[in-house]
Amino acid sequence: MKNIILVQPQNGLNETSYVPLGLISLAAYIRNDFNVKIIDLRFDPSEDLYRAIDELRPLAVGFTMLTGSCIIQIIETSRKIKEKHPEIKIVVGGIHPTFFPGQTLRNPFIDFVVVNEAEKAFLKLLKSIEGGGSLWQIENLGWKDKDNQPQINIGPADFIDMNELPMPAWDLIDVKKYVKKLSNIPSERVIDFYTSKGCPYPCSFCYNLNFNKRKWRAKSAQKAADELEFLYRRYGINYFIIHDDNFVVDKERALEFARLIIAKGLKVKYSIDMRVDFFDYEFMKKLKESGFCEVRVGCESGSNRILKEIIQKGITVEQTIKAVETAKSLDIKLILSFVIGWPTETLEERQQTIDLIIKLQKIHPKAAIYPLWIYIPYPGTNLFQKAVDMGFEAPRSLVEWGNYFWGKAYLPWLKNKKEYEMIHELSPFAWYNKSIATLTNRSLKNIIRHLLIKTFRPFVLFRFKNNFWKFPIEAKMTSFFKKIFQKSIKRYDKFVAVNFKH
Ligand code: B12
Ligand code: SF4
């Protein structure tokens, strides 16, 4: 059997420990026909990859690609591979190339782009590289013709029945490297997991509408619970971060999943993402009995106009408040996410978001809030086009997309960008929540950090409550201390990044 190497690039964060769920799914699907090796450049140096290539002489090297800095590493690594082994095919797949197959293929080092959910097309492509055959027969594939021009054969989205997929190839990664620990519950062995894909909602800022075409697909409760049990028994995992875009579309399936966890006697905890309009006391209470303990919620804005007209999320501020009350009554932990700087957002609407956060923390003091994100137009979303219409200049090449990162995008409608950046920077102090990082760790550094937060918090809260951004003395001091305490603050960032609701 020929060899294939699949590569997870670095993603520009300090995050090292996310399971490359897409790659282990692809690996499981092709492993009957090819030998697969997975290399994670967040752990392994590039030299390991080059050495593996020299030894294994793979038919193809496949990279997973999101929008952002991983693109630069993929290009650079592919260049080096091609320099020494021009015959090895470079294949990229994932969300970014799905939206820009032609632009991605214009890069000289990339031979193929597989669009969308890729198991079937990838296997067909590899068989065709090995044995020949017309590439036009493979749908959702991009390649270069003999004149080096991109050719793209987009067919209907060919989503797979998730019950037909083999169990992801957990054995092809070193699972223990990916086991995370929560700073506040050190006994937990945490891992990433998913049970469904896609989401039926049309939110204008989310990749789902155009990537998953509003089609929700799920593993049966039985299949999902069996995989969870496998990870529990084989690797001692007892906390699952379920990354499904929308875990609870089918409430019956969710309840059956919970029943199976109980019936199997699995002592686990798990967290999910959930829309505020799915918060239902009885439903959540039943899930809680099986270990459900935390929800990440995209509340997005405190303005009903933004929610309705701009984001088209189909939720209201009133539903958000009610959801937080429900979680509080069940003692379910919350991680809420909000965004400012939406197209057409006024300063009053920005303030409504801040006021809502303050109100929600009063209702549920254990609710953690992510740093207040500044909106970033992501490709493949409907709001991206609106941003372009409003003067936003989109990157024009694969390399330019590689330099695209939140916080860096220039939004022409933000009149005072510095103010937005200050809000983003200071928000962790304003929303700081003891349940995120407790003083169980009594190291000097941690105690000083807590003291600093305690000292700054009243000033920062005053600013947030009064929309007052002049004399940014504590903002300057914060960035000074941040440099000194970079590591401990990063730990906070790391925690929130784990749970970021997109
Ligand atoms: C876990 C996760 C993370 C993890 C790390 C992910 C990683 N592996 O690096 C963390 C928390 C670090 C993270 C960070 C961020 N994330 Co994130 N994340 C996710 C999440 C929830 C799950 C990803 C996943 O594992 N999916 C399940 C697997 C099975 O699907 P998949 O990876 O897409 O793989 C399939 C196909 O894409 C394709 N495929 C993928 N790779 C390859 C490779 C080859 C060779 C082939 C042929 C095919 C192929 O086939 C696979 C199998 O069907 C997704 C949402 C989602 N549900 O997908 C968002 C998502 C990917 N993240 C997103 C964003 C915006 C971010 C952040 C910028 C957010 C932030 N402000 O912090 C950062 C930075 C990421 C970056 N650009 O580098 C966006 C990406 C948009 C985009 N255009 O890239 C998503 C889609 C969320 C959203 N709703 O918009 N994220
Ligand atoms: S933002 Fe949430 S609800 Fe909206 S489409 Fe994306 S995953 Fe679905």
pLDDT tens sequence across 223-278 = 999 999 999 999 999 999 999 999 999 999 999 999 999 999 999 999 999 999 99
The tokens describing 26, both together, are: 């692809």
Minimum mean pLDDT range among 37-51, 130-144, 165-179, 482-496: 482-496
Domains of the chain: 3-153 (3.40.50.280)
Say how many Å lie between the CA of residue 121 and the centre of ligand 2: 26
Q: How far apart are CA 365 and CA 348, in angstroms?
A: 25
Q: Which of 6, 7, 42, 66 to mutate to test the pocket of ligand 1 (most atoms within 8 A of CB)?
A: 66
Q: Helix axis angle, 473-484 relative to 444-466, nearest 10°?
A: 150
The tokens describing 125, both together, are: 């492509």
> What pLDDT is attached to residue 73?
95
List residues bridging with 196 in a β-sheet: 218
Question: Band of the pLDDT at 435, cuts 50, 70, 90?
Answer: very low
The residue whose C-alpha atom lies closest to atom 7 belonging to ligand 2 is: 245
Q: Helix axis angle, 417-430 relative to 486-498, nearest 10°?
A: 90
pLDDT at residue 407 above 70?
Answer: no
- For residues 195 and 224, the answer to whether their CB atoms sit within 8 Å is yes
Say how many Å lie between the CA of residue 22 and the centre of ligand 1: 8
- For residues 116 and 65, the answer to whether their CB atoms sit within 8 Å is no
Q: How far apart are CA 26 and CA 120, in angstroms?
A: 9
Q: What atom in ligand 1 is closest to the CA of residue 194?
A: 27
Say how many Å lie between the CA of residue 343 and the centre of ligand 2: 18
The residue whose C-alpha atom lies closest to atom 2 belonging to ligand 2 is: 245
Distances (CA, A) of 252 to 224, 262, 294: 14, 15, 19
Largest CA distance in the chain: 68
The residue whose C-alpha atom lies closest to atom 4 belonging to ligand 2 is: 203
> What pLDDT is attached to residue 497?
35
Say how many Å lie between the CA of residue 136 and the centre of ligand 2: 33
> What pLDDT is attached to residue 450?
74
61 within ligand 2 shell (Cβ under 6 A):
no
Say how many Å lie between the CA of residue 58 and the centre of ligand 1: 25
Say how many Å lie between the CA of residue 206 and the centre of ligand 2: 6
> What pLDDT is attached to residue 493?
39
Question: What pLDDT, in 10s, does the model give residues 322-363?
Answer: 999 999 999 999 999 999 999 999 999 999 999 999 999 999
Q: Helix axis angle, 473-484 relative to 486-498, nearest 10°?
A: 90
Minimum mean pLDDT range among 185-189, 299-303, 320-324, 474-478: 474-478
Which residue matches tokens 């330099």? 403
Residue 4's Cβ-count burial label (10 Å; 0-12, 13-18, 19+) is: buried
Distances (CA, A) of 257 to 209, 222, 242, 276, 292: 26, 7, 12, 21, 11
Q: Spell out the residues 6+ positions from residue 347 whose beta carbon is closer than 8 angstroms to its own.
A: 467
- For residues 254 and 282, the answer to whether their CB atoms sit within 8 Å is no
DSSP state for residue 368 in the 8-state scheme: E
22 within ligand 1 shell (Cβ under 6 A):
yes
Q: Which ligand is nearest to the CA of 91?
A: 1
Q: For residues 387-408, b (16+ Cβ closer than 10 Å) or e, as one string?
A: beeeebeebeebeebbebeeee
Question: Which of 465, 451, 364, 452 has its CA nearest to residue 423?
Answer: 465
pLDDT at residue 455 above 90?
Answer: no
Residue 159's Cβ-count burial label (10 Å; 0-12, 13-18, 19+) is: middle
Q: How far apart are CA 227 and CA 344, in angstroms?
A: 45
- H or E element in which residue 122 lies: helix 119-131
Question: Band of the pLDDT at 2, cuts 50, 70, 90?
Answer: very high
216 within ligand 2 shell (Cβ under 6 A):
no
Distances (CA, A) of 102 to 149, 176, 179: 9, 38, 37
pLDDT at residue 502 above 50?
Answer: no
Share of the chain above pLDDT 70, in %: 90
40 within ligand 1 shell (Cβ under 6 A):
no
Q: Which ligand is nearest to the CA of 216?
A: 2
142 within ligand 1 shell (Cβ under 6 A):
no
Q: Which amino acid type is present at position 105?
A: L
11 within ligand 1 shell (Cβ under 6 A):
yes
> What pLDDT is attached to residue 156?
85
Over the chain, what is the mean pLDDT? 90
Parallel/antiparallel/unpaired status of strands 141-144 and 150-153: antiparallel
Question: What pLDDT, in 10s, does the model give residues 264-323?
Answer: 999 999 999 999 999 999 999 999 999 999 999 999 999 999 999 999 999 999 999 999
251 within ligand 1 shell (Cβ under 6 A):
no
Say how many Å lie between the CA of residue 66 and the centre of ligand 1: 6
Q: How far apart are CA 211 and CA 382, in angstroms?
A: 12
89 within ligand 2 shell (Cβ under 6 A):
no
378 within ligand 1 shell (Cβ under 6 A):
yes
The residue whose C-alpha atom lies closest to atom 6 belonging to ligand 2 is: 206
* Other beta carbons less than 10 A from residue 267's beta carbon: 8
- For residues 402 and 72, the answer to whether their CB atoms sit within 8 Å is yes
Question: Which of 18, 76, 16 has its CA nearest to residue 49?
Answer: 76
> What pLDDT is attached to residue 496?
34
pLDDT at residue 14 above 70?
Answer: no
Question: Which of 284, 267, 260 has its CA nearest to residue 334?
Answer: 284
Which runs of E-coded beta strand occur in 137-247? 141-144, 150-153, 180-182, 185-193, 196-197, 217-218, 239-242
The number of residues making up the chain comes to: 502
40 within ligand 2 shell (Cβ under 6 A):
no
Question: Which of 116, 272, 278, 93 has its CA nearest to residue 200?
Answer: 278
The tokens describing 370, both together, are: 């992510």
- For residues 380 and 98, the answer to whether their CB atoms sit within 8 Å is yes
Q: Which of 95, 199, 299 to mutate to test the pocket of ligand 2 (most atoms within 8 A of CB)?
A: 199
Q: What atom in ligand 2 is closest to the CA of residue 207?
A: 6
Q: What atom in ligand 2 is closest to the CA of residue 214?
A: 5
Question: What pLDDT, in 10s, does the model give residues 54-99?
Answer: 999 999 999 999 999 899 999 999 999 999 999 999 999 999 999 9
